[in-house]
């Protein structure tokens, strides 16, 4: 059976992610199929909106298929995974040009590229049981797919915390921090889909969503906003120093996450979020593309995927191995994009 399925239900084009054994990790083939179908639906007058969902309650999508990206690197003798990231980011760059609204019904795990797909495509509807994270610093990459924009909706200190530590949060924090649009019980997703499929015009969507909306669960980390604002402010050195000095359980969890994750990745997302926000998703994705080429051309990405997802020994050998040696010269080299290609945006018929 296909890893991504398409069908029409009334006025709705339904995209079903169907790779549950891999938590719907997005392969190049899945992304190419999604692009082709969205392209077709653009010119189909019977389709009024698109709904992206999952065949499994366990996960909406855990992200991009980074194992496939590593395979691309290994086949190319260590060259960056340009084909994979051109395909993934190209899809995301295309989404704002679509004339028909897209809603993502998100239940279970939503991380990385899956989170980018839900956030960048339009309306993000979350269940009360989601697990939301941008965990890329654990595998030698960085929070990408436009996270440089959408994580900022929570505020800069929360964006830094989420991006640097990869902390998993639930629906309460997601809604409290403005990281999704609406919370609907997972048990009502099918009824919501049915109601949406019966619309006459896209302007009907908001009233239908309002009828299914519930109050999100109580937040957890959002209750510690002042602590997050205190810790995750300033230079990387200052943040690390404050984590060392503060001894409560929450900061200990963040400190341990920072110690285990890739130093280059942590420094990269800190630097990205410390700069002015990109003016558009297209600009953010072009920046992500060039940084991804540099990051995946280094040994950390292959090593991180090996340690966390393939061998699962959780003992990556990072290079450099400590944040203390990630200095300005290292970052300048990492963000040197001279000679790198721009992201090629995929065309969509109108």
Given this model, what pLDDT does residue 347 score? 57
Q: Answer yes or no: is 215 within a domain.
A: yes
Q: Answer yes or no: is 344 within a domain.
A: no
Q: Considering its fold, how many domains does the chain have in total?
A: 1
Provide the pairing of β-strand 59-61 with 109-111.
Answer: parallel
Given this model, what pLDDT does residue 349 score? 45
CA proximity to 140, closest of 269, 233, 234, 237: 269
Q: Answer yes or no: is 237 within a domain.
A: yes
Question: Which residue is it, tokens 């992206």?
Answer: 52
Given this model, what pLDDT does residue 247 score? 85
| Per-residue model confidence as pLDDT tens digits over 73-91 | 998 887 778 999 999 999 9
Domain range for 169 is 4-334
Tell me the whole-structure pTM to 2 decimals. 0.95
The mean predicted confidence, pLDDT, of the chain is: 95
Q: Answer yes or no: is 40 within a domain.
A: yes
Strand partners, 183: 126
Q: Answer yes or no: is 206 within a domain.
A: yes
Average pLDDT, integer, range 188-217? 97
Neighbours of 299 (CB within 10 A): 14
Q: Answer yes or no: is 343 within a domain.
A: no
Q: Answer yes or no: is 348 within a domain.
A: no
Structure tokens at 269: 């997302």
Q: Answer yes or no: is 347 within a domain.
A: no
Q: What is the CATH number of the domain that holds 9?
A: 3.90.226.10
């Amino acid at each position: 059976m296909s890893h991504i399925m398409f069908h029409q239900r009334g006025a709705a084009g339904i995209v079903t992610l169907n790779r549950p054994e891999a938590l719907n990790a997005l392969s190049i083939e899945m992304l190419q199929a999604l692009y082709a179908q969205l392209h077709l639906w653009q010119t189909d007058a019977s389709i009024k909106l698109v709904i992206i969902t999952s065949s499994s309650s366990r996960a909406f999508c855990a992200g991009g298929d980074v194992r496939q990206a590593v395979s691309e690197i290994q086949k190319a003798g260590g060259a960056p995974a340009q084909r994979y990231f051109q395909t993934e980011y190209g899809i995301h760059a295309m989404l704002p040009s679509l004339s028909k609204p897209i809603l993502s019904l998100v239940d279970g795990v939503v991380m990385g590229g899956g989170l980018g797909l839900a956030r960048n495509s339009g309306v993000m509807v979350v269940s009360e049981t989601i697990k939301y994270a941008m965990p890329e610093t654990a595998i030698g990459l960085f929070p990408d797919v436009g996270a440089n924009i959408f994580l900022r909706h929570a505020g800069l200190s929360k964006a830094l915390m989420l991006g640097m530590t990869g902390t998993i949060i639930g629906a309460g924090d997601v809604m409290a921090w403005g990281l999704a649009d609406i919370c609907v019980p997972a048990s009502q997703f099918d009824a919501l889909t049915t109601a949406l499929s019966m619309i006459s015009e896209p302007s009907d969507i908001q009233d239908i969503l309002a009828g299914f909306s519930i109050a999100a669960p109580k937040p957890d980390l959002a209750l510690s906003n002042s602590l997050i604002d205190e810790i995750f402010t300033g230079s990387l050195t200052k943040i690390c120093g404050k984590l060392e000095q503060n001894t409560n359980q929450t900061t200990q969890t963040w400190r341990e996450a920072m110690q285990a994750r890739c130093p280059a990745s942590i420094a990269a997302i800190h630097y990205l979020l410390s700069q002015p926000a990109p003016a558009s998703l297209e600009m953010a994705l072009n920046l992500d593309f060039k940084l991804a080429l540099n990051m995946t051309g280094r040994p950390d990405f292959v090593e991180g995927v090996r340690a966390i997802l393939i061998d699962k020994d959780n003992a990556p050998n990072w290079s450099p191995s400590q944040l203390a040696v990630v200095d300005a010269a290292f970052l300048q080299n990492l963000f040197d994009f001279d000679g790198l290609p721009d992201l090629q945006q995929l065309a969509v018929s109108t």
